[in-house]
Chain A
C-alpha cells in the first residue's frame, strides 16, 4: 500500500527552569496507508506530544515529518493548509473539545465552513446530515447541545468533525479512555468500520494495552520520549522483547481467573525526562540492567524482520526466563 506518514528523527525539547525536557526524543516511525499504528505508553512518555507534532499543533525541535513524501515541518500558510485537511485529530475528552454553546449541527458544520470545502447553506446542511448518519448520530440530536449528550455520543461528534474535511490520516489521542466499556466497544467498532469503508489511516494513542491490541496493525511502545519497541501487533504480544513492554503487559489485570501469570513488578517510577543521562532510560527500573545499560544508550535496531527494539540485553533475558 505504501507509506503514508513517516517521522524521521523527530525531536521535541522543552526548555524548563530545571533544564531541557526531552518530550519526544529521536522518534522514527512509519505508517502504512490504510493501517493503524498504536502508540502505547504511560503518562509522560511523550505519546500525546508526538500526536501534536504530527498535527503540527507544536513545532518540532528537529526532524522531519513526511506525509505522502512531503516534509510538512517547514510548510506554513497556504502551502500547509492543503495538508492540514489531510491530517485530523480526535481528542480524549470530547466534552472539552466541543463549544458548549453550539448545537450538534453547528459543531459538525463548523469545519465545513472553515475549510470552505462545501459551500452554500443547503449543501453544508446536507453534508452534516450525511456525517451524522456516518457516525451513528440520530437526526433528532441535530439541535441538541453537548451537555445533553453522553460521552459516547459526544465522541461521535468529535469523530464527525474530524471526518468533515475528508482526511486521509487521523490521530486518535485516547479516544475511548473516558468512556465506559460498553460504550467504548461501540466507538471502537465505529472507528474500525470507518477505516474499512473510507480507507483511513490511524495513529491510535492510548495507555490501554487491550484496546491497542484490538485496533492496531503495528504497535510502538514508548518510554520517556523514545520508542523502545515496534512491531506487528500480534508479534508484540507473542514475542515481547523489551523488558519494559514485558512489564507493561504483565501489569494489566486480566478478567480471567484461570490464567496464572508471573507478574513483573517494576520498582520505582518513571524517571525524569529532564536532562536524561546518556544511558538506557529504562535501566533504573529494569530487572536485567547491567553496567552496559548505564554506560551507553542502546540503539534502536531491527532484531527480527519488522521487529525493532532498543535494548542492549535483547535476547539474553528472554533466555533467562526460560531456564
Chain B
C-alpha cells in the first residue's frame, strides 16, 4: 500500500476466502490486501462475522479445508508464498516465524500436561536443543510473562484466566517469532487483568521489535496498542490508515458509526447513535457497496457499483464513494 524499504513480514494480496456450506457459499474474505512491516503493529477491527479470524487463520495456513477455500490471492510470510508451501514447511514456520494467540486460553492449552512442558514443547520442536535446555528456556519464558517458574509442574486448571493467557503468550513467544497474531487475546479477561496482559504484550513487542497483528473489536485496545489500523466489514477492508487517520478523521461511514456506537467515558452523551440494521448476510453479498443498506450517506451510485479502496491522503485508504464529501 505504501512504499516499503524492507520486505514486509506479511504481504497479503487480493485474498479471497470462501466457505462452502450447505446453505450456500459464505464469502468470508473478499479481495483483501495489506502488509505489515517488521516491528509494526496492525490492528484489525470488525464485528462478529466480519472475517477477522479467517484472515488470521489464512496467514497461518490453518483454515480447515473443506469447507474453506482460498479462491484467489497470495499470502507471503517474510517473502515466502504460503500458498505453495507444504505442511512440513508450514510447521516449521508456525511457532518460529509466526505465532498465534487465541481468544480462549482454556481451549488453547492441553489440560493434562504441565504448563511448563507445553512451553518446552515448542522450543524442542523448533530449536535443536536438549530436553533440559528446553526446560530451562521454558522457565525463562515463564519469568518473562510474570509467572514464577516454581509453577512449572502445574496444570492449566490451577491457573486463573489471566495466568493461562500469560502461558499461551509464553508458548507463542518461546521461539522469538517475527510476527505475533493475537486474535482477541484479552476478550475473555477482566479489565484490570486485561490491562496487565496488554501492558506486558506491549513491552515484549517493543523489546523484541516484533510485528503484531492485533485482532479485536475494541477500538480502545487499538488506540493503545497499534501503529496502524484496518477496519473490516463483510470481509472487506473499508478503511485503513494510521491511528491519527482512523481516530481523528475517520472517513468511512462504518468507522464513524462504530465510533459513535461506543458509550464514551470522557464525554457525556445522552443517546447513542447506533448503526441501523444488521450485519449483512455473507452468503448473499450484493454487487454494489456491501455497507450501503446501513449507510446514512449513501447516494445513487452506492447501489450500483462497488467502490474501490482508494488512497484519499498519503497512507489513508477508504472504500467509499462519498468519503471526504462533507455534507451527507
Contacts and interface: CB of A to CB of B under 8 A. Distances in A.
B247 A257 contact: yes
Contact of A181 (B217, B224, B247, B278): B217
Nearest to A247: B192
B193 A213 contact: no
Interface stretch (A92-100, A158-166, A262-270, A302-310): A262-270
Interface stretch (A50-58, A83-91, A139-147, A184-192): A184-192
B278 A248 contact: no
Contact of A257 (B48, B194, B243, B271): B243
A257 B244 contact: yes
Interface in B158-183: 160, 162-163
A159 to B, nearest CB: 15
A310 to B, nearest CB: 18
Contact of A189 (B191, B196, B272): B272
Given A152-B278, A185-B272, A256 B247 contact: yes
A215 B162 CA distance: 28
B189 to A, nearest CB: 9
A275 to B, nearest CB: 18
Contacts of A286: none
Given A185-B272, A252-B265, A269 B160 contact: yes
A8 B160 CA distance: 32
A252 B190 CA distance: 10
Given A207-B190, A259-B266, A181 B271 contact: no
A211 interface: yes
B317 to A, nearest CB: 19
Nearest to A153: B278
A263 B223 CA distance: 14
- The dominant DSSP class at the A interface is helix
B257 A182 contact: yes
Contacts of B273: 185
A182 B259 contact: no
A256 B278 CA distance: 26
Q: Give the interface residue-count category, chain B.
A: 35 or more
Contacts of B258: 181-182
Contacts of B268: 234
A256 B268 CA distance: 15
Given A185-B273, A256-B247, A266 B192 contact: yes
B305 to A, nearest CB: 24
B193 to A, nearest CB: 7
Contact of B265 (A180, A207, A210, A215): A210
Nearest to B162: A269
B209 interface: no
Nearest to B163: A269
Interface string A168-191: 000000000000111111101100
Contacts of B262: 181, 185, 210, 255
A189 B47 CA distance: 19
B221 interface: yes
B162 A255 contact: no
A42 B194 CA distance: 11
B223 A257 contact: yes
A248 B192 contact: yes
Nearest to B275: A182
Interface in A266-301: 266, 269-270
A270 to B, nearest CB: 8
B114 to A, nearest CB: 21
A288 to B, nearest CB: 16
A150 B218 CA distance: 20
A182 B217 CA distance: 11
A177 to B, nearest CB: 10
Contact of A266 (B196, B217, B220, B247): B196
B265 A265 contact: no
A155 to B, nearest CB: 13
B265 A237 contact: yes
Contact of A265 (B47, B190, B195, B275): B195
B168 to A, nearest CB: 16
A134 interface: no
Nearest to B257: A182
B222 interface: yes
Contacts of A259: 266
B223 A181 contact: no
Contacts of A188: 263, 272
A253 B243 CA distance: 14
A317 interface: no
Contact of A192 (B194, B217, B260, B271): B271
A209 interface: yes
> Which of B260, B274, B275 counts the most A-chain CB atoms under 10 A from its CB?
B274
A256 B243 CA distance: 9
A189 B48 contact: no
A270 B196 CA distance: 13
A9 interface: no
A78 to B, nearest CB: 42
Nearest to A188: B272
A255 B263 contact: no
17 contacts: A42-B193, A180-B47, A182-B274, A185-B260, A185-B263, A185-B275, A207-B191, A210-B263, A253-B224, A254-B266, A255-B247, A257-B247, A263-B195, A263-B199, A266-B196, A269-B193, A270-B160
Given A182-B261, A214-B263, A252-B265, 20 more contacts: A42-B192, A43-B190, A180-B279, A181-B258, A185-B272, A210-B262, A213-B265, A237-B265, A251-B194, A253-B195, A253-B220, A253-B221, A255-B220, A255-B222, A255-B223, A255-B262, A256-B223, A257-B243, A269-B163, A270-B160
4 cross-chain pairs, A with B, having the tightest CB-CB distances, nearest first: A253-B220, A185-B274, A214-B263, A255-B219
